[in-house]
Every structure is written in C-alpha cells, then in structure tokens.
Chain A
Amino acid sequence: MLLPTALIPCWYSMISHVERQVNLNSHDFHSKLQYEIENTTKFLHPINSSATNLARVLKLSLNGTKLSFSMIETKVAPPLFQAWSTIPYLSQISYTGLEGLFFSYYTGQNQTLAVYSNSSYNSRSSAPNVKKNFNCYIQHVNHETGELYGNSIECPPLNLVSKRWFQEALNSTNGYASLEIGWNNSQDLTLLSSARINGEGVISLGFSAKVLTARFTSIDRQGGSLYLATKDGKVLIEELKDTHMVLTGNMVSVQLKKPNGEQKVLGNVSCIIKDGSPRASTLNIQGTEYMLYCSSLDMVGVQLVYVLAFPQKGLVSLVRKNRTVALALLIVIITSMVVSILSFAYIFIRAAKREMHLCAALIKQMEATQQAERKSMNKSLAFASASHDVRASLAGLTGLIEMCYEEANPGSELETNLRQMDTCAKDLLGLLNSILDTSKMEAGKMQLEEEEFDLAQLLEDVVDLYHPIGIKKGVDVVLDPYDGSAIKFSQVKGDRGKLKQILCNLLSNAVKFTCEGHVTVRTWVRKPSLQNSIIASNRNGLMKYLQCLFHKSNEAYNDLEAMNAAQQDPNAMEFVFEVDDTGKGIPKEKQMSVFENYVQVKETALGQGGTGLGLGIVQSLVRLMHGDISIVDKEMGEKGTCFRFNVILSTCENVSCNIAKAEDLEMVDGSHTPELILSTPSPGLWLHTPSSKLTVHTTPSPKVTTSHVVLLIQNKERRRTSQRFMENLRIKVSVAKQWEHLPSTLQKIKHKENHSRHNSSGKSDLSSPSGCLSRSASNNSSGVEKDVPLSSMDGSDYILSIFKRTTPKFASSFILIVIDASAGPFLELCRIVAEFKKGLHNATCKVVWLEKPMMRNIDFKHIEEDLVDPNDVVISKPFHGSRLYQVVRLLPEFGGTLQGNSSKLKEEIKFQAEKVPKDPSSSRSKPRSPPSNGIPPKEQEIQEIGNSNDEKPLSGKKLLVADDNVLLRKLTIASLLKLGATAETCVNGQEALDLVCKGLSDQRKLGASKILPYNYVLMDCEMPVMNGYEATKQIRKMEKSYGVHIPIIALTAHTSGGEANVAIEAGMDVHLGKPLKKEHLLEAIRYIDTK
C-alpha cells in the first residue's frame, strides 16, 4: 500500500514536470516564431520611410516650383525611376499632383510600365465638359534608362486625387500608409506608402502585399497557421481553413465558416500585449485544440494584426493524453491491487477463522474423546472388579450347592433342585465370563477354549431352554434333526460355551421377535469348503499377518499357526447352523447393519428392549470360530428371518469309534436286551457308529418287520421335521393334522394291517410267516425311496447310521402312535386309540403321549382303566432331540420291545425323561404309574419323609431356648420337638443365666459336673432385661469354674455379618438367622459337634 501511495505522487510530479517542460518548449517555440515574424517585419522597416525620404529629396529638387507635365517628365520621373529601381519589393511608384498630373511606374505583366496623365484638373475644371481631361496613358518603360518607349495606350483615368489616402497623405507631414489596390491590371493588394511634396503633389510607393506576406508565409511555422490583417480589417493572410477572423478593437473574434454560409463565433483572442509577449489563448476549432497568439506589427507603415494558431496535437497533447491514460491505468491497477489485496486478506482471514474453529472443535473433540476413554476405562475397571466380586460370590454359591448336592438324597426333589441351581449358577458364571470376554473381544484378546462336548446334547439343551419361553408366547421351538449329520458328528472339540452363547443369543432373539408360528433350529455338517476357509483366513488371517508384522508378537504368530493347523486338520468339519423363525423379519436394507454393535432395527425392536449388543457379539464369536454369519434370504411370502452361521469344529472320530466298538462288543456278547441299550445315559454315544459297521446293521434283512408310526402333532413345523426324520429312517409314517383326522388315519392303517393278515395264523403274535413279512418289508423300502426327496438321501444315511437296526425277535408288525395330548380333548383321544387297539389283531400297538410341561392336562385318574393301556408312554414336550430318538427306539427294528416286557422299558424312559437336563419341566413330568406296576410315587415320598422323621437327630438332647418373643419361642420349640429334642424356655437373658446357673449347680450336687445341664442354648440376641450377648458373657464367665463349655447358638433377625461378628465375640459358638430353620440348626449342631 505504501509503495503505490509513494509512487503515485512521484510519478505525477514527474509527469507534471515533463509537461511543464514540454509546455515551456512549445511556448519557446511559439515565441520564437513570433519573434521571427517580428524580425521579418523589422527587416521591412526601412521601407517605411522610403516614401517620405523620396518626397523630401523631390521637394528639394523641385524647390516649390509649379510643376507641369513636362517638368514632371524631366524632373520627377528620373528620381522616381531611380527609386523604383533601388527600393526593394516595390511594385509601383507614382507622383500625383493636385492638378491631376500623374506619373507612375509599376510592374505589370512582368514588364515595367509607366502610366501617366498629362492633363491637369484646373483646365478641366474650367471646362468640365471637355473629355480630353480624362486622358491617361500607359507606356512601356526601358529597364535601364527609365525612358518611355513604344505606343502609349490610352486607358481610363485614375482618379487618384479624390482618393482618401491621397488626401490623408497631402494633409500629413510624415506621410501616410494604407492598403490599397494596385493599378496594374491584376489589381493586387498593395501597401501604399505616400508622402506629400510641397502640398502640391504626393509621392506614393506601392509594395505588393503578396510579395511581402510571402516573407511571412515562408517562415517554418511547424504546423502553425498565420492570420494577418490590417487594423481596419483587411485580411492579408488567412491560413486557417474554414475560419474567419474579425478584428474588433483589440480583440480578434474567430468565426467558423460553415458550408451553408453561416458564421459561428468560436471565441475571441485578446491582442493586448502583456510583459512583452502576447498571451496565448486556447480555442477548439473543428475538434482541434488551437493555441492562438495575437500581436500587432507595423509593415510599411501599415498597422497590422497577426494571429498565430498552433494546433495542440503535438507533444503537449500527447503528454497530456498519456498522462490521463496512464493515470487511469494506474488507478485501475491500484484499485485492482487493493481489491485483490483486500479479497486475499478476506480469504485469509476467513481461512484463519475456520482453522481456529476447527482447532477449537478438535480440542473439544479430543477432550471429549479423552473423557470418554477415561470413562470407559474407569467403567471397565469397575466392571472388572465388580465381575470379579460377583464371580467370587458365585463360586461360593456353586461350592455350597455342590456340598449340599452330595448330601441330598439321590432322586429326591431336593437333588433335582440343587442340580438345577447348580446349572443356573454355572450358567450365570458363564454369562459373567462372557461379559468379561466381550471386553476381551474388544481388546482382541478373546481366545477359544477348546473342549470336547456333545453337540447334539448342546443343541437340545439350548432348544429346550427356550422351549418353555416359546410355549408361553405360543411359539413352538423346534429342533430339526435335518439330515442327521450333526448327530453323527456330535462329539466335537470346540468352544462349547461360545457356541452355546451364539445359539442362545440367536434363539432368544428369534423367540423374542416371533409372535406366532415356530422357531426352527437345524444343523448339518459338511466338509470345509476351500472357499469358506479362504474367506475365513482372509478375514482373520490378514489381520493376524498385519499384527505379526507390526507387533512381531509371538503370541499372534502362534495363534495364526494354530489356526492354520485347525484348518488343515482332517477332522475339522464345517458345521452349519440355521435359526429360522416366522417373526416380523428384518428389512432388507437393515440386514447389513444388525451385526454392528448397538444397532437395533427400530421398527421391530420397538418395545422389546435389549442393548443391540447381541448380534455384534455373535458375529465376533462366529468369526472367532473361523466362520461367518449371515441372514439367509427367505422366499417370497415367507415370514421371518433366518440366520445362518457356520463354524469349524474338529470332530472326535477316533474316540467315538472306540466307544462304538465297545458298544458293539457288548452287543455281540449277546443279550442285546433293550434295557441295556436304553440305559445308556446319553444318546450321543450312539451317534458315531462308523459307517462300515453301519452297513451291517442297515442292510434290511428280509425278516425285518416294518413299523408304522402315526403322528398327531399340532405344530406344522414339528410335524414336518419329525415325519421327515422318521421317513429318513425308512419308517412308515402317517400324519394326522388335527385330532379329528386321527380316526380316519387309524382306520386306514387298520384296514391295511388286517388286510395283510390273510396269511397269518390266527392271533399268534410271535410267529408271523416270513413270506408276508418280507413282502411288506420290500414294499416299504421301495415306498420310502420314492417318498424321500433325492437331496436328502445322503441325509438318510446319516440318520440311519445313528440307530442300529436290529432284527427283532418278535416279528409282528408294530404300530406306534405319537399323540400330542393337547391336540384335542384327552378323553376323546383315549377313546379313539382304545377303539383302534380293540380292532387290531395282528399288530402290536403302542401309544406315546406328548405332554405339555408344567401344565398337567393328562389326568389319568379320571380315566377309566380300560381306556388307557398301562404300557402307554408319556413324554413331556418338546418332542425332539433325545426324546425323539427314544421314541424311535421304541420301534422293534431300533431295539424296542413289544408289549410283553414293556413295563421296565417304560420305567427307563421315564428315567431318561427326567434326566434330560436344563428342562425343568421334564423332571416334574412324572409319568403316571398304575398301581399294578411298581411302587406308587406317594409311597416313595412317604418313605423319604419317614426317613428323616425316624432319624430325629436331636432325640435325647436338651436345649434351652431364650427368646422374648412368644411367637418365635413357640416356633423354635415346635421345631425342636419335631427333631426329637426336649426344650426349656425362658424370656430373657437373666432367666437364661439363672437357669444355666441352677442347672450347673444341680449337676454338681449330683456329682456329675461334667455333664452339661443343656446340650445347647439357643439365645436370642436382643432381649429385655439382659440381652443375649451379656447373658452369654456371664454364662461363659460362670461356666469356667465348672470347667465346661455350653454351646450357645445365637439367633438374630439381622442378616448382616456385623451382628454375627458381635455374637462370636461375645462367646457364642454359632450364629443363625431368624426364623430358625431346621436345616440350619442341624448344620450348626453338626458344626459344633465336630469342633
């Protein structure tokens, strides 16, 4: 900014200086020109006086004589000629007498001519009518001598005397000068200088104006124009085009001549001379600036005025124009510069501002981040410590439960409850661990805990866990055995807990978001495909490699190696799980985001709660197991969502082989009694029969009878899966969708059976002709092959491999009816079945009732004996997994027995059903036990209670109860009496003390001081008069002298540990909470006794 402000004045002054100089120069030039003009005039100056000089000379020579023409010719003409020859620029010279005599030389047609008039006016005035007076003659003049020669030509007389200049000259002494017209033929303007001679004549010298002015015009004026005029306005030179100058006084007015003759005044030029030089005035004439200088000069005695006009186009105007242009340019440049600087500054400021904003935001953000991190860290710490504490107390709980478990009577309800408690506690512990694992996972430190486990069992557990919840909502949770491959490879090695967590999460989601229909879980196994493993390795491997690169951590590398090893493990199998529900479903566009943490699909999650963490954890876990999870697209019109994930687990083929072999050996040993098979606690053990052995079993011997299964299950999905499973086992299956359809279905079967009976020998069950059987067998097998879809043929192999087909001893056809007890009115169903049985001659029939857990809708008591077969089996729902396999095993070809020895079998099933863990309902479902068969349950219970009654652990003991509350006292006494003890009571500590004191002294009197007066004292802590603590202290003090220690049990209603400590400090042995519980008391006593 400073530079331009400094530069501009500098530049401006420079330009002004130049302009001044230029102006000066031009001014100089102009004045020079003027000077030259004046000089020129000065050169002409001597001419001025020539006329008077000549007149003086002539006057002397004439001497005042009266001139006649002849005298003139002789006396005047020669000096005239001399003057003519000597004076320069002379164009004419004349002598004019008053009388009219006249003689003159002049130049005409490049010759010197003389014109004269030889007659005087006087004579003429006397005789004015004489024409002769007018004579005037022209004669040629000899150049050298001045003599006239040739003919004189008569010409009109020049009446010079009457002319004004003549009179003026005659009257003035110094001569007179004027501009007249010459008397040659061309009538040129002539400057006439005249002087009188003796008052009689006038000498006049005429100078051609043309010649004189040529002197001026010949001056180099450099484009300047000259205007020359006499004071009385006769123009001599007018060089400016189309202009006309009029002299008025001292002013020259410049007029513009227009083509149409009009004149327009452009301006005036003053001719007053100041300071010796004429003033310049500027006029615009026809678009050109002119500088006009006006001045006067004297030429041949004539006063002249000249005007010099210089156009302004020269240097000055150039400079002036350039100056303005340059100034404009400069201003433009400066303004643009200023503008650009300003805009730049503006932009810069804005950028700076923004940067500052950003900086502030960044700082804020960073602070927030730090705070969040701090918070998160604190939270994690608190969380970890809290989890640790919770875990510690949980560990205590599980330990206690285990202790109790050992002491509980096996088979009692207590034991079941304890087991369930144990399971729950362990689940809780697992959950806690998984929460800790979530944070571990976030830190990337999650590790798989490989262990061997039974996948089928796990699946069933999980499904059973959610079944009751589902049932409550009206949703059936179905475990689809699918192709049975998962059952075959059930014994696997992998992370059980995490797999369970995944399944639980998905299932709970499915159940939560499904209002009607069903949730299906299906699993199958396939060889790990190359593609999948590549994807898995890419996903995890790349990260791991990066970790290796960056951290060079050995651990990570080991991990990677382990992973690779796992993938190369020949035993590794890919397990695919599907959780399929008929709920609301997830919108397609949201499907990608549901796996992100904290994302919930709003429309569906509304009012369902949850953190939205579940699926994120699930995904992390699945990826940890080298698998992936996705949502499978359902077909159009199908409701719900189907989550599918795959994990890689290694199967324990070898182990199962061994077990299977052992099994086989046992089997071969003979006596493959159904009891033996059924008592195997876990069905999973059977599932791994190697296929080589399998073929032996599965080869359908011609003697095999086929069984027929009738299914009446309400839920469509369950019906479908069960039917398919059985069909894959080559079992003939009929289905009834509703209970109303049951009779017709049964009727059809009966008809068929009875029809095939045509060859049989009466009612002998045990020996059916082989021909008939083989035929039916072949019929069946072909039928099955037709029915089973091609794709599931592989599956049927799997399923077949699960169960050993045996050739039953009893070769009669077997009909198994599986009825959902809640499908219809129970009595009605019973009646239908009973009727069917009645009409059956050749076949054995068995009924399996599926009972709803918790709700006992089968009340056998109200049903008459003949309607219900005591051999019927009651199984609690859900009908899948192990329960399904149990039912399948009822079939003779899978090891089932026939009617004859079924009672034991039933017991076994009952036992199995109760054994199913994680299903609280199953343990309660006590199958009906008819009185004819075994011990009635009531009796057993009585036995159990009787045992405890008989014990009377405190019989013979004497206790002192000190309590101020009558109610509690009564209760305690009652409890003690129940335990067989005798008790004394007192209402406060003082009394208790007295009683103990008395007792002790009595004992001493009897001489048995070592025998305690009371085996135990139950002491309430807070009592009036003397509280329990004080009393205890007193007793302790007193008993010392007797050398005994009476066990004192404190009773408080406080649950906190502080009271207990106070009690122990006071000298009490044990502390128990109120109200007194039998078990606690016994435990306390046991504790005291062992001490």
Chain B
Amino acid sequence: MERNQMRRQLALMRQSFFDQGFLDEQFIQLEELQDDANPNFVEEVVTLYYRDSSRLILNIDQALERNPLDFNKLDNYMHQFKGSSTSIGAKKVKAECTQFREYCKAGNSEGCMRTFQQLKKEYAILKRKLEAYFQQARQAGPLETACRSRN
C-alpha cells in the first residue's frame, strides 16, 4: 500500500515535470528504451548527461571570460550542449540553448552572458529535480517504476 502511495507520488512528480515544461516527449522516448535488460537506463543516461555537460559548461564558462568573445567557439560548444540536452528532453535548458545561439549569431555578448546564467539556473533546477525523482524512484521499487504509468 505504501509502495502504491509512493508510486502515485512518483507519477505525479513526473507529470509535473511535463506540466511545468521541464521535460518534453524525448524523455518519454528515453523511458521507452528502458526495459528489463537495462533497468536503470534513464537514470544512467541522465547521469551521463550531467557528467558530460558539466564539462561543456566549464568550457563555455572559460570561453565567456575571454575578451573579445569567440562567438564561433561558443556556438560550437552550445551546439553540443544543445544536442545533449535535446536527447534527454530537457525542454527548458534546450530553449535557453537556442536563445544563446541566437545571441551568438547576433554577436550580442551581453545577451549571451545573461542567457548563460539563466541556462545554468535551469540546468541546476532540472538536476535537482531529476535527482530527487530518481531517488524516490529507487525507493519506490526497482521494476515497477519503469514508468509504465503512461496512459
């Protein structure tokens, strides 16, 4: 019973990610890829994403400190970052990436800075949320949380 309760909460939490626009349907695709063969696929992918992207963010941070800004380089980094973000369905982060790239194209350094700050914020929020989610998912039980709650 308690597990059911937890599962419901988990489902609610997950739904809230979609409702609030943190994640998009790509995440569902990820979930679909998860099966008995690799039961923690989503979590693995997300972890991978965070590991990978933290490096990218560092790169971008460094690139932004340089003066004048190398917009080409920034765009390149951001392109990679956007690709990663898209693949896990981090909707808000992706949106910020797009915005960043637009500023890059326009050569608006101030806009870049601002957007990057916003991006980092969104990135951190999502990270926190997903961590909490996976934490709860582990507690709720290994297999049932395979997000079969899709209706």
Contact = CB atoms under 8 A, between A and B. Distances in A.
A965 B81 CA distance: 10
B33 A971 contact: yes
6 contacts: A967-B52, A968-B87, A1074-B86, A1075-B26, A1075-B87, A1078-B29
B102 interface: no
Nearest to A937: B151
A381 interface: no
B32 interface: yes
Q: Which 3 A-B pairs have the closest CB atoms?
A: A1075-B87, A1053-B83, A974-B33
Contact of A978 (B35, B49, B84, B87): B35
A966 B87 CA distance: 11
B80 A965 contact: yes
Contact of B49 (A967, A1053, A1074): A967
Interface string B45-83: 100110010000000000000000000000000011011
B87 A967 contact: yes
Contacts of B44: 970
Interface string B17-50: 0000000001001101101011001001100110
Contacts of A968: 83-84, 87
Nearest to A974: B33
Contacts of B84: 965, 967-968
B88 interface: yes
Interface in A1070-1087: 1074-1075, 1077-1078
A653 interface: no
Interface string A1000-1029: 000000000000000000000010000000
Interface string A1018-1045: 0000100000000000000000000000
Interface string A798-834: 0000000000000000000000000000000000000
Contacts of A977: 37
A1078 B44 CA distance: 20
A966 B44 CA distance: 11
B48 A966 contact: yes
B22 to A, nearest CB: 17
A977 B38 CA distance: 11
B87 A971 contact: yes
A965 B41 CA distance: 17
B83 A1074 contact: yes
Q: Which of B35, B52, B82, B87 has the most CB of A within 10 A?
A: B87
A790 B86 CA distance: 67
A443 B55 CA distance: 62
Contact of A966 (B29, B38, B52, B79): B52
Nearest to A977: B37
A1077 B32 CA distance: 11
Contacts of B32: 978, 1078
A960 B37 CA distance: 21
Given A978-B32, A1053-B79, A1077-B29, A967 B86 contact: no
Nearest to B87: A1075
Given A965-B52, A978-B32, A971 B45 contact: yes
Nearest to A1078: B29
A970 B86 contact: no
Interface of B: 26, 29-30, 32-33, 35, 37-38, 41, 44-45, 48-49, 52, 79-80, 82-84, 86-88
Interface of B is mostly: helix
B35 A1022 contact: no
Interface string A949-973: 0000000000000000111101100
A971 B87 CA distance: 8
Contacts of A974: 33, 38, 41, 45
Contacts of A1022: 79
Interface of A: 965-968, 970-971, 974-975, 977-978, 1022, 1053, 1074-1075, 1077-1078
Nearest to A968: B87
Nearest to A969: B48
A1077 B84 CA distance: 14
Contacts of B41: 974
A1077 B27 CA distance: 12
Nearest to A975: B33
A965 B56 CA distance: 11
A977 B30 CA distance: 13
Contacts of A971: 30, 33, 45, 87
A977 B29 CA distance: 14
A1053 B33 contact: no
A1016 B88 CA distance: 24
A801 B108 CA distance: 72
B45 A1053 contact: no
Contacts of A965: 52, 80, 83-84
Contacts of B33: 971, 974-975, 978
A853 to B, nearest CB: 15
Contact of A1053 (B30, B37, B82): B82
Given A965-B80, A966-B52, A974-B41, A1053 B29 contact: no
B7 to A, nearest CB: 15
A961 to B, nearest CB: 13
A968 B86 CA distance: 10
B88 A967 contact: yes
A970 B83 contact: no
B75 to A, nearest CB: 12
A971 B38 CA distance: 12
Contacts of B52: 965-967
A967 B29 contact: no
Contacts of B45: 967, 970-971, 974
A738 to B, nearest CB: 33
A361 to B, nearest CB: 45
A975 B32 CA distance: 9
A965 B52 CA distance: 8
Given A974-B41, A978-B33, A1077-B29, A967 B48 contact: yes
Contacts of B82: 1053
A970 B26 contact: no
Contacts of B26: 1075
A970 B79 contact: no
B21 to A, nearest CB: 18
Given A967-B87, A967-B88, A974-B33, 6 more contacts: A965-B80, A965-B83, A965-B84, A967-B84, A971-B87, A1074-B83
Nearest to B49: A967
B28 to A, nearest CB: 11
Nearest to B44: A970
B148 to A, nearest CB: 10
Contacts of B29: 1075, 1077-1078
Nearest to B30: A971
B49 A1075 contact: no
Q: Which of A967, A968, A978, A1074 has the most CB of B within 10 A?
A: A967
Nearest to A964: B80
A4 to B, nearest CB: 82
Nearest to A978: B33
A1077 B86 CA distance: 12
A965 B38 CA distance: 20
Contacts of A970: 44-45, 48
Nearest to B41: A974
A977 B96 CA distance: 32
A460 to B, nearest CB: 27
Contacts of A1077: 29
